[in-house]
Amino acid sequence: MKTKKVWNAAIAGTLALSLAACSSTSSTNNTATNAPDKGSGTTNKPAATTSADAGKIDTSEFQTISYVMLGDKPKNGQLEKVMDKINAILKQKVNAKLEIKWVEWADWQTKYNLLLASGEPVDLITVATDWLDTWQNAQKGAFMPLDKLLPTYAPQTWKEVPPENWAETKYKNQIMLIPEDHYTQWVNHGFLYRGDWAKEFGITEPIKDWETLGKYFQSVKDKKPGVVPWDVNSTGTGSIGGYINSYTDAIEMPVNTGMFPLVYGKSYDEKYKAYSPFFDDTFVNYAKLMKEWGDKGFWRDDVLNYKGDNRQALEAGKSSVDQHHTQTFLGERIKMDKLQPGSDLQFFPFSATRNNLVSMSITHGGTSIGAKSKHPERALMVYELIRQDPEVYKLMNYGLEGVQYVIKDGKRYRPDGYDVQRDDFYSNFWGGRIDKNEIPDGNEYAGKKDIYASYDKIKKPYPYGRFVFDKAPVSNELTAITQIVGQKGPAIIFGKAGDPVKAVEDFRAKLKAAGFDKVMGEIQKQLDAYKQLVESSK
């Protein structure tokens, strides 16, 4: 996701200080929980700037706005060509230039958090509360409150986002990010697998459990020489969360414990009860299964040191699965039809085993402004154009018409002669996409509507949209726990820790010694307070 800041440098410091000192909207609650604004409606919103007012904003000073994006910087020159077009429009409309600051995927979590902690004066920042530690960074003062800036410098977006959605962006009752709440997507995870091979192996029904997946892997091992059933690398530790999703009713909570989350809500009905599946049979059963799969050779023997790309292996016909989310599947389905004709790529969502599915948080993607931004006003004006101006939006998301895409019958297609190496473009703008400006993909997988409809039948509302865990009371314990997860987790996940029962016992003992019970107690305390706030706002 991405955020943009555009402010007058001469007044940035003054405004930032005045915003931080403002007490009229500050929460009196001592916890970090986002209190639902009881009766929060449009009457509490500052009036948005009119177009006539916006014309009076002083943009005489040319400013360069940075945008922190996650991903590897494109190297084929197409990004620069598109940015030239975008910046010509930005100069004309708001006298600014946009520069993307890439946080590349190698060790991205560490690099991203270090960048935000450095105090570097970045402007717009891609954020996410569920995978980019937004609340933890907000607690450290990484972002600038936006309440008083949005109505003037991003008035369309301010009006568009409803009060109940703004409530989910607040830390201590101040807006910390702009949500990507008007873009339809599903990012629930699962396995992408080859439907043609599954049928060849006698698996005629869609895979909906890990037992069937194991049979599929074994058949690949037996019948597809040169193919690694799951050519995962050492960072692919998300399967533990998937197993929990498949075999419990637990709901992942926004509490960061490092490489993978240890703390969940017990179930949707018991959403305010903190629970860790790592201390019951769930984790033992998972560890046993991973040891079995590892011993059978379903991944490389040197998996803990392997750095290869699983998706590229799938696309090359050298692996039978990739583990990611629905949106990735939809894109890969089209890709695989071309790269591996007849592969009939299918998707096993982890939620399919027992229909344990919650809606995606509206803050899965968003944009913030850095606390030290020198140009927050102009940054918001740039963000507004990227999100709301159809021409800028299309450039940012699709590239150049005629080069990256052509439009036929209102849908987007690749031009004749398109070469993926030469012509591919991406900006990784994940912080403000919006359905009204999207151009439908003419090559979109025909089964997308059915997948979305199946999810809509079973989904439950995301229950933790306003819950912000204040880690200060257990900061030392969480640091120690995060280190243990990173040190011990991968070996268990890939069946390389010896006897799985003993490995789990050792893992649990170390967590306990690091203060896990204290952490769970603090989470439950804050969940109790959150429950009271939610119920009092009804």
pLDDT at residue number 55: 54
List the beta bridge partners of residue 264: 252, 275
Q: Cα 328 from chain centroid?
A: 12
Does residue 520 lie within any of the structural domains? Answer: no
Per-residue pLDDT band at 533 (split at 50, 70, 90): confident
Per-residue pLDDT band at 288 (split at 50, 70, 90): very high
Distance separating the N- and C-terminal Cα atoms of the chain: 31
Report the percent of the chain where pLDDT is more than 90: 84
One DSSP character per residue, 136-200 reads HHHHTT-B---TTTHHHHSHHHHHHS-HHHHGGGEETTEE--EE-TTS-----EEEEEEHHHHHH
In the chain, the amino acid numbered 150 is L
For 412, phi and psi rounded to 5 degrees? -100, 130
One DSSP character per residue, 313-360 reads HHHTTSBSEEEEEHHHHHHHHHHHHHHSTT--EEEEEGGGGTT--BPP
- Burial string for 155-191 (b: 16+ CB within 10 Å, else e) reads bbbbebbeebbbbbbbbbbbbbbbbbbbbebbbbbbb
Quick: pLDDT tens for 151-176: 999 999 999 999 999 999 999 999 99
Helix (H, G, I), strand (E, B) or coil at 45: coil
- The pLDDT of 299-328, averaged and rounded, is 96
pLDDT at residue number 537: 75
Does residue 108 lie within any of the structural domains? Answer: yes
Domain count, the chain: 1
Quick: pLDDT tens for 344-378: 999 999 999 999 999 989 999 999 999 999 999 99
Decide: 493 and 237 in contact? Cβ < 8 Å: yes
Quick: pLDDT tens for 380-430: 999 999 999 999 999 999 999 999 999 999 999 999 999 989 999 999 999
Helix-helix angle 516-536:475-493, to 10 degrees: 110
Please state, rounded to an integer, the average pLDDT across all residues of the chain: 90
Does residue 77 lie within any of the structural domains? Answer: yes
pLDDT at residue number 46: 52
Q: What's the CATH number where 92 sits? A: 3.40.190.10
Per-residue pLDDT band at 107 (split at 50, 70, 90): confident
Does residue 292 lie within any of the structural domains? Answer: no
Taking CA atoms, 167 is separated from 162, 329, 359, in Å, by 9, 31, 17
DSSP letter assigned to residue 460: B
pLDDT at residue number 56: 80
> Which value, in Å, is the radius of gyration of the alpha carbons in the chain?
24
For 143, phi and psi rounded to 5 degrees? -120, 155
Quick check: 143 pLDDT over 50?
yes
Quick check: 69 pLDDT over 80?
yes
Gap between the Cα atoms of 416 and 402, Å rounded:
9
Per-residue pLDDT band at 41 (split at 50, 70, 90): very low
Where are the alpha helices (H) located in 48-120, listed in sequence order?
Answer: 51-54, 78-94, 108-117
Quick check: 491 pLDDT over 50?
yes
Does residue 113 lie within any of the structural domains? Answer: yes
Gap between the Cα atoms of 191 and 230, Å rounded:
10
Per-residue pLDDT band at 277 (split at 50, 70, 90): very high
Quick check: 32 pLDDT over 50?
no
Quick check: 16 pLDDT over 50?
no
- The pLDDT of 14-28, averaged and rounded, is 29
Per-residue pLDDT band at 47 (split at 50, 70, 90): low
Quick: pLDDT tens for 85-106: 999 999 999 999 999 999 999 8
Closest CA to 125 of 100, 105, 149: 100
Biggest alpha carbon–alpha carbon distance for the chain: 71
Overall pTM surpassing 0.95 (yes/no) = no
- The pLDDT of 198-226, averaged and rounded, is 98
Per-residue pLDDT band at 469 (split at 50, 70, 90): very high
Please name the residues in contact with 406: beta carbons below 8 A apart, sequence gap of 6 or more: 412, 413, 414, 415
Closest CA to 170 of 69, 265, 261, 40: 40
Gap between the Cα atoms of 512 and 489, Å rounded:
15
pLDDT at residue number 130: 86
Report the percent of the chain where pLDDT is more than 70: 90
Q: Cβ atoms within 10 A of the Cβ of 132, count?
A: 27
Task: List the structure tokens of 97.
Answer: 């230039």
Decide: 429 and 397 in contact? Cβ < 8 Å: yes
Gap between the Cα atoms of 480 and 516, Å rounded:
9
Q: 15 lies in which domain range?
A: 9-184+362-398
Does residue 196 lie within any of the structural domains? Answer: no
Quick check: 179 pLDDT over 60?
yes
Does residue 151 lie within any of the structural domains? Answer: yes
Does residue 199 lie within any of the structural domains? Answer: no
Quick check: 21 pLDDT over 80?
no
